[in-house]
């Protein structure tokens, strides 16, 4: 599959590495934008408030399947029901919300786990097979929570996870360190 990631940070760069390892052809675009015309799917991995600006620098997005990995932290564009809907308003194609709850700093440990970790996602029906495949190819078990109308719930869950982590609470999403297996 030909994938264009929009964002070179921990999420975009990290998923690009996992997908290359799985045999996909991945192009990573940064702040200068670029062309996504040849892509089968695009990953949007930029800060939530930067969606419109970042996608505005990318050509060839019309009608593409998009995977939205953005978070509404520290803010969101309230003109849309979710960040995923904002992505859809720009691309005009089917969208899935995924990877926003998976810690990018742990991507390098995914394949070492005794049991595959899960990745929750919400998707338009037309984006569902692609999202499920890319989640699997990144080393996770896909767990669909519903259509794109559930994207806001996934985005809002991020706030709860950040609050728990900042408060020092034990975290339910934990990988086993080498030697703990």
pLDDT digits (tens, 9 = 90+) for 70-106: 988 778 899 999 999 999 999 999 999 999 988 888 8
Q: In this structure, what token pair is assigned to residue 43?
A: 């990953």
pTM: 0.89
- Could you give the CA distance from residue 66 to residue 97 in angstroms, rounded to a whole number? 9
Question: Can you give the pLDDT at residue 176?
Answer: 46
Q: In this predicted structure, what is the pLDDT of residue 169? A: 60
Residue range 2-166 in CATH 3.90.550.10: no
pLDDT score for 128: 98
Tell me what pLDDT residue 17 has: 97
Mean pLDDT of 121-137: 98
Among 11-15, 24-28, 97-101, 107-111, the least confident range: 107-111
Using the predicted structure, report yes or no on whether residue 157 has a pLDDT greater than 90: no
Could you tell me where the beta strands, DSSP code E, fall in the chain?
Answer: 2-6, 25-29, 34-35, 41-44, 58-59, 65-68, 95-98, 118-123, 141-146
């Amino acid at each position: 599959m030909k994938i264009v990631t929009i964002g070179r940070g921990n999420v975009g760069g990290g998923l690009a590495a996992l997908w290359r390892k799985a045999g996909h052809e991945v192009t990573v675009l940064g702040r200068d934008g670029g062309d996504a015309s040849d892509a089968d799917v695009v990953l949007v991995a930029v800060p939530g408030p930067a969606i419109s600006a970042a996608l505005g620098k990318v050509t060839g997005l019309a009608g593409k399947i998009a995977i939205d990995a953005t978070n509404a932290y520290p803010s969101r564009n309230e003109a849309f029901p979710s960040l995923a809907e904002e992505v859809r308003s720009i691309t005009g194609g089917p969208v899935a919300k995924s990877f926003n709850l998976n810690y990018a700093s742990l991507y390098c440990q995914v394949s070492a786990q005794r049991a595959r970790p899960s990745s929750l996602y919400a998707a338009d029906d037309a984006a569902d097979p692609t999202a499920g495949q890319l989640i699997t190819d990144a080393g996770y078990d896909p767990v669909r929570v519903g259509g794109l109308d559930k994207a806001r719930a996934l985005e809002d869950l991020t706030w709860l996870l950040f609050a728990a982590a900042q408060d020092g609470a034990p975290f339910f999403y934990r990988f086993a360190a080498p030697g703990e297996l």
